Amino acid sequence: MHEMSLMESVLEIVEEEARKAGAASVRLVKLAIGELSHVEPEAMAFCFEAVTRGTFADGATLEIERIAGRGWCLDCAEEVALAERFGTCPKCGGSRVQMTGGDDLRVAELEVE
């Protein structure tokens, strides 16, 4: 399960930012996870509970926002929604679509006290 190592990296970022802010604890972590990122939100939520025990984020709430896949079709010069990596253009059927969004994982928001 690669989500465990991803969540450990997220926790490092969260703890670093909490220290920079002079916070005693973290109340909320909001993650943005792209639908094309191959990251399972349910697994991330499970891992969050495991990796935050005894840390700045122990007891914090995790919110996950899903980011839709987007791409630029080189054939019809349109931005389009993508349901899968390397998918065809839903407008013209062309196969030359460059992914422009929805493959990311980032800490979108952090609430500390």
Range(s) of the domain holding residue 71: 2-112
**CATH number of the domain that residue 29 is part of:** 3.30.2320.80
The predicted-structure confidence for 33-58, as pLDDT tens digits, reads as follows 999 999 999 999 999 999 999 998 99
Question: Given the structure tokens 């639908």, which residue do they identify?
Answer: 35
Q: In the structure, what pLDDT confidence band is assigned to residue 82 with cuts at 50, 70 and 90?
A: very high
What was the pLDDT predicted at 1? 57
Burial class (CB in 10 A: 0-12, 13-18, 19+), 107: middle
Q: What strands lie across the sheet with 105-112, from one edge to the other?
A: 61-67, 26-34, 105-112
Residue 29 has pLDDT above 90, yes or no: yes
Overall domain count for the chain: 1
Q: In the structure, what pLDDT confidence band is assigned to residue 113 with cuts at 50, 70 and 90?
A: very high
29 within 8 A of 107, measured Cβ to Cβ: yes
Q: What mean pLDDT comes out for the span 73-97?
A: 95
Q: Give the integer Cα–Cα distance in Å for 37 and 71.
A: 14
DSSP string covering 22-54, please? T-S-EEEEEEEEETTS---HHHHHHHHHHHHTT
